[in-house]
Amino acid sequence: MGKHNATSQQKPLLFINQVNNVIQSKQQTYIIKKAQSEHTSKNEHIVNEAETETPEVIVEEPKQTRKKRINEMNIEEKIVHLLKLPTTNNMPRIVCEFNVKENSYKGVVIGLDGDIVSIRTRTRGEQITLHMSEITSINVLGF
């Protein structure tokens, strides 16, 4: 028991002794202003008049255009957006459903040449070319 009492009165092993110095904070610095004389106030008045005579140029900040959601884009914007997406091994191209007047194709946009859109179908892997005017809607299906 004597051993137990001796260890309970010791300081913890991870205790770090801190220096007990009290740092006195300095008094706040005082700013002393001299009274302005008439001479300086007249000069300031002349300067103020000169400043008011110059026309103010209002610089309009350009509004930041927010990115459209893919549902808000038209067909041409969707195709351009799908082509600009980065394609790496980690991120595959986005699979979409392309609705044409009579059929619908599920696949990935490969390229755009003027008004002709190249699509690789998901099922057979064949390449289909469609005119942009033939496409009625584009629905995003996923990866």
Instruction: State the chain's mean pLDDT as an integer.
Output: 73
In contact, 126 and 110? CB cutoff 8 Å = no
Q: Residues 72-127: pLDDT tens digits?
A: 788 888 888 888 877 766 777 788 898 888 888 899 888 888 889 998 888 877 88
Q: What is the CATH number of domain 75-142?
A: 2.30.30.520
Long-range contact pairs involving 112-116 (C-beta distance under 8 Å, separation at least 24): 112/79, 112/80, 112/83
Q: Is the pLDDT of residue 48 over 60?
A: no
Compute the distance between CA of residue 30 and CA of residue 26 in angstroms, rounded to an integer: 12
**Could you tell me the residue ranges of all domains in the chain?**
75-142
- Check pLDDT > 60 for residue 6: no
pTM greater than 0.85:
no
